[in-house]
A and B are shown apart, each in its own frame.
Chain A
Amino acid sequence: MATTREITSTPAREPACPAFDVKRIREDFPILKQKVYGKPLIYLDNAATSQKPTKVINAIVKFYTEDCSNVHRGVHLLSERATEAYEGARIKIQRFLNAADSREIVLVRGATEGINLVAQTYGRQNVKAGDEILITAMEHHSNIVPWQILCEEKNAVLRVAPINGRGELILEEFQKLLSARTRLVSVTYVSNALGTVNPVREIVRMAHAMNVPVLIDGAQSAPHMKVDVRELGCDFYIFSGHKVCGPTGVGALYGRAELLEAMPPYQSGGDMISSVTFEKTTYNAIPYKFEAGTPNIAGVIGLGAALDYLEQIGLASISSYERALLSYATEAIGQIPGVRILGTARDKASVISFVLDGVHAHDVGTILDREGIAVRTGHHCAQPVMEYFGVPATVRASLAFYNTKQEIIALAAGIQRAQALFG
Chain B
Amino acid sequence: MAELEGLYQEVILDHSKKPRNFHSMADADRHADGYNPLCGDRFTVYLKLKDDKIVDISFQGTGCAISTASASILTEILKGKTRAQAEALFETFRDLVTGKIHANGETPALGKLAAFSGVCEFPVRVKCATLVWHTLRSALEGDPEVVATE
B4 within 8 A of A: yes
Least distance between B123 CB and chain A CB atoms (Å)? 11
Does B57 sit at the interface, judged by CB under 8 A?
no
Residues 298-314 of chain A, each 1 if its beta carbon lies under 8 Å from chain B, else 0? 00000000000000000
Are A393 and B39 also in contact (CB < 8 A) when A358-B17, A360-B65, A366-B125 are?
yes
Inter-subunit contact B66/A363 (CB<8 Å): yes
- Knowing A421-B8, A422-B65 are in contact, say whether A362-B3 is a contact too (CB < 8 A): no
CA distance A289 to B74 in the complex (A): 57
A378 on the B face (CB < 8 A): yes
A360 to B12, CA, bound (A): 13
24 A/B residue pairs, CB under 8 Å, sorted by A: A359-B65, A360-B64, A360-B65, A362-B38, A362-B39, A362-B64, A362-B125, A362-B128, A363-B8, A363-B64, A363-B65, A366-B122, A367-B4, A370-B3, A370-B4, A378-B39, A379-B37, A379-B40, A386-B40, A392-B39, A392-B40, A392-B63, A421-B8, A422-B17
Bound CA–CA A344/B40 (angstroms):
22
CB 8 Å contact bits of B30-48 with A (1 = contact, 0 = none): 0000000111111000000
Q: Which residue of B is nearest A391, CB measured?
A: B40
Q: Identify A378's interface contact among B7, B8, B40, B66, CB under 8 A.
A: B40
Contacts of B3 in A (CB 8 A): 370
* Contact of A422 with B39 in the complex, beta carbons under 8 Å: no
Residues of B within 8 A of A370 (CB): 1, 3-4
B107 CB within 8 Å of chain A: no
Residues of chain A at interface, number, CB under 8 A: 17
Query: Is B13 interfacial (CB 8 A cutoff)?
Result: yes
Q: How far is B65's CA from A360's CA once the two chains are assembled, in angstroms?
A: 7
**A contact residues around B128 at 8 Å (CB):** 362
B125: chain A residues within 8 A (beta carbon): 362, 366
Given that A360-B64, A366-B125, A422-B65 are known contacts, is A377 also in contact with B39, CB under 8 Å in the complex?
A: yes
In the bound complex, how far is the Cα of B8 from the Cα of A360, in angstroms?
13
Q: Is A361 an interface residue when CB atoms closer than 8 A count as contact?
A: yes
List 11 additional A-B contacts (Cβ < 8 Å) besides A360-B64, A421-B4: A360-B68, A362-B38, A362-B40, A362-B66, A363-B65, A366-B122, A377-B39, A378-B37, A378-B39, A422-B13, A422-B65
Chain A CB within 8 A of B62 CB: yes
B residues 1-32 near A (Cβ < 8 Å) are 1, 3-4, 7-8, 13, 17
Establish whether residues A392 and B1, one from each chain, have CB atoms under 8 Å apart when the complex forms.
no
A360 near B37 with CB under 8 A, answer no
Residues of chain A at the chain B interface (Cβ within 8 Å): 358-363, 366-367, 370, 377-379, 386, 392-393, 421-422
Residues of B within 8 A of A393 (CB): 39-40
* CA gap between A392 and B17 in the complex, in Å: 17
In the bound assembly, the distance between CA atoms of A379 and B122 in angstroms comes to 20
**Chain A neighbourhood of B4, CB < 8 A:** 366-367, 370, 421
In the complex, which of the residues A363, A367, A378 contacts B38, with contact meaning CB atoms closer than 8 Å? A378
Query: A43 to B37, alpha carbons, bound, how many Å?
Result: 23
A167 to B55: give the CA distance in the assembly, Å: 47
Give chain B residues whose Cβ lies under 8 Å from the Cβ of A386: 40
Shortest C-beta distance, A35 to chain B (Å), equals 15
A379 to B64, CA, bound (A): 13
A358: which B residues are within 8 A, CB to CB? Answer: 17
In the bound complex, how far is the Cα of B1 from the Cα of A282, in angstroms? Answer: 64
Closest 5 CB pairs of A and B: A392-B40, A362-B39, A360-B64, A362-B64, A393-B40
Q: Give a binary string over B58-82; 1 marks a CB under 8 Å from any A CB, 0 the rest.
A: 0000111110100000000000000
Question: Which residues of chain A are near B66, meaning CB under 8 Å?
Answer: 362-363
The complex places the Cα of A378 from the Cα of B38 at a distance, in Å, of 6
Min Cβ gap B102→A in Å is: 21
Chain A residues positioned under 8 Å from B64 (CB to CB): 360-363
